[in-house]
Amino acid sequence: MFLRTENFRTFLRFYPIVSFLVAIHFILWVWINFRLPGGLYLLEIMVGYNMFIEQGEWWRLFTPILLHASFSHVLFNSFSLVLFGPALEKMLGTLKFLILYIGSGLVANIATLFLEHSHFSHVGASGAIYGLFGAYLYMVFYRKDLIDRANSQIILTILIIGIIMSFSGGNINIIGHIFGFIGGAIIAPFLLPKRVGSYSYSYASSSTPSFNIKALKQILPKRFDKTAIFWIVLGILVLFGFLSK
Strand partners, 49: 121
68 falls within a domain: yes
Could you tell me if residue 3 is inside a domain?
no
pTM of the model: 0.81
With respect to residue 168, please indicate whether it lies within any of the assigned structural domains: yes
Q: Is residue 49 part of a domain?
A: yes
Residue 95 has pLDDT above 80, yes or no: yes
Nearest residue to 63 (alpha-carbon basis) of 74, 51, 48, 75:
48
Q: In which domain, by residue range, is 126 found?
A: 8-243
Question: Does position 131 have pLDDT exceeding 60, yes or no?
Answer: yes
User: In the structure, what pLDDT confidence band is assigned to residue 166 with cuts at 50, 70 and 90?
Assistant: confident
Residue 136, pLDDT above cutoff 90:
yes
Q: Which of 78, 126, 152, 166 is catalytic?
A: 126
The answer to whether residue 210 is catalytic is no
CA-CA-CA-CA torsion sign (6, 8, 10, 11): positive
The reply to whether 1 falls in a domain is no
Instruction: Domain count for the chain, please give it.
Output: 1
Amino acid present at 95: L
Q: Is 122 a catalytic residue?
A: no
Amino acid at 193: P
**Residue 61: what pLDDT?**
98
Q: Is the pLDDT of residue 132 over 50?
A: yes
Query: pLDDT confidence of 231, banded at 50, 70, 90?
Result: low
Task: Determine contact, residues 197/147, Cβ cutoff 8 Å.
Answer: no
Q: Please say if the pLDDT value at position 117 is more than 80.
A: yes
Domain contains 101: yes
Q: Residue 108: which CATH number? A: 1.20.1540.10
Statement: residue 202 has pLDDT above 60? no
Q: Which of 177, 198, 206, 210 is catalytic?
A: 177
2 found inside a domain: no
Within-domain flag for 175: yes
What confidence tier does 140 reach under pLDDT thresholds 50, 70, 90? very high
Better-predicted residue by pLDDT, 88 or 222: 88
pLDDT tens, position by position, 20-43: 999 999 999 999 999 899 999 999
pLDDT at 209 over 60: no
